[in-house]
Amino acid sequence: MPSRAIVSRALADLFRQLAHADRLRLIEELRQGERDVTTLAQALALPTSRVSQHLALLRAHRLVEERRDGRNHVYRLAQPFLADWILEALPLVDVRARLEEAEHIDAARALWSAPGPNSSH
Amino acid sequence: MPSRAIVSRALADLFRQLAHADRLRLIEELRQGERDVTTLAQALALPTSRVSQHLALLRAHRLVEERRDGRNHVYRLAQPFLADWILEALPLVDVRARLEEAEHIDAARALWSAPGPNSSH
DNA sequence: TGCAAATATGCAGCATCTTGCAAATGTGAG
DNA sequence: CTCACATTTGCAAGATGCTGCATATTTGCA
């Protein structure tokens, strides 16, 4: 009865595709509707080649679908439920600690970039 | 406003922990209640050292919690919702194709292991 | 104390993923 | 047909993850 192991592998494959911040952000963008590669690349501030590679991965796993419009390739979520389901995971993740940590970093950076009169300490 | 990127990274970290069939099966086992390492290792047919490593990872990300009982270490899900949420992903994954593929493999294996009278072909 | 069971940890080889860049392909406009 | 734009693909180096095995560490018991 290897079905348990097979299902686990299938799920693990899915999770591996989602285990990358850029790809998650792509899915989040596509949640708002169809987008072409250049638009996505601008939104994420990434080179189009990288975005294209990520999209190829997601497409290979049937998470997104593609259609051509003129010389653009327009992508959309194959199953919009995917994006909803991902957001359901937010309570599982310790976002608060990370945001606070980022704010500390921002604060530290602000101190560095705007040194006071007696910056010699 | 890097909060979007931060949340994406946090989610990606979570997905990375879940992107391994053994760890998913561990979570599935723990869904049914507390288990010690040896029991888990037997259930998954894995060496205890491997199970221990997986559990250490999951524990580092606060997905499981540990308690000692005699000389055993008993693990439990930190947030039982995790297991439910994972199962919600099943419709997103093409399990059917994989199961059929596995059945084809089984069928092929059966043909090989039980060769007919004219097996030379 | 000393032994054995239960877990955990360290490490090296291997596999996989990521990244940046260059080059190739495809496609509409003139 | 040719050009320019949009997208994809190929590749090598570096980073990260996995596996198997050996060795610690911890704890209960005699």
pLDDT tens profile B43-75: 999 999 999 999 999 999 999 999 999 999 999
pLDDT digits (tens, 9 = 90+) for A6-54: 999 999 999 999 999 999 999 999 999 999 999 999 999 999 999 999 9
What confidence score (pLDDT) does residue B1 get? Answer: 54
- The tally of CA atoms less than 13 A away on the side-chain side of residue B5 is 7
- Write down the mean pLDDT value for chain A: 87
Distant-in-sequence, close-in-space partners of B16: CB < 8 Å, separation ≥ 6: A15, A19
Chain-wide mean pLDDT for chain B? 87
d(Cα B4, Cα A101) in Å, to the nearest integer? 14
What CATH architecture does domain A3-91 belong to? Orthogonal Bundle (1.10)
pLDDT value at residue A4: 82
Show me where the domains of chain A are located.
Answer: 3-91
User: Which chain B residues are closer than 8 Å to A29 by Cβ?
Assistant: none
Please report residues of A whose CB lies closer than 8 A to that of B99.
Answer: 3, 6
Instruction: Give the C-alpha separation, B27 to A40, whole Å.
Output: 35
Interface residues 24-83 of B with strand C (CB < 7 Å): 36-38, 48-49, 51-53, 55-56, 66, 71-74
**The tokens of B21 are what?**
């069939």
Instruction: For an interface test with B, give the residue of A18, A79, A87, A109 to mutate (most B CBs within 10 A).
Output: A18
Nearest one of B50, B93, B1 to A17, comparing CA atoms: B93
Q: Which nucleotide is nearest to B50 (CA to C1')?
A: D19
Using only the alpha carbons of chain B, give its radius of gyration: 20
DSSP state of A121: -
Percent of chain B with pLDDT over 90: 70
Q: How far is the CA of B4 from the C1' of C21 (A)?
A: 28
Concatenated DSSP letters of B55-106: HHHHHHTTSEEEEEETTEEEEEESSTHHHHHHHHTGGGS-HHHHHHHHHHHH
The confidence score (pLDDT) of residue B5 equals 87
Point out which residues pair with A72 in neighbouring strands.
Answer: A69
Query: Is residue A84 within 8 angstroms of chain B, CB to CB?
Result: no
Judge whether B78 and B65 are in contact, CB under 8 Å. yes
* Helices marked H in A19-80: 21-30, 37-44, 48-60
The pLDDT of B82-94, averaged and rounded, is 93
The DSSP H or E segment spanning B31 is helix B21-31
* pLDDT band with cut points at 50, 70 and 90 for residue A3: confident
Q: Does B98 touch chain A (CB under 8 A)?
A: yes
The answer, for B62 touching chain A at a CB cutoff of 8 Å, is yes
For residue B27, give the chain A residue with the closest CA. A8
In chain B, the residue whose alpha carbon lies closest to the alpha carbon of A86 is B11
CA B83, CA B24: separation in Å to the nearest integer?
Answer: 9
Name the burial class of residue B11, with classes exposed (0-12), middle (13-18) and buried (19+) by CB atoms within 10 angstroms of its CB: buried
Question: Which value, to the nearest 10 degrees, does the dihedral of the CA atoms of residues A62, A63, A65, A71 take?
Answer: -110
Nearest to A29 by CA among A44, A9, A51: A44
DSSP assignment, residue A91? G
Please report which confidence band the pLDDT of residue A109 belongs to, taking 50, 70 and 90 as the band edges: low
Contacts of A88 in chain B (CB under 8 A): 85, 88
Sign of CA dihedral A15, A16, A22, A27: negative
Interchain proximity B85–A89, CB inside 8 Å: yes
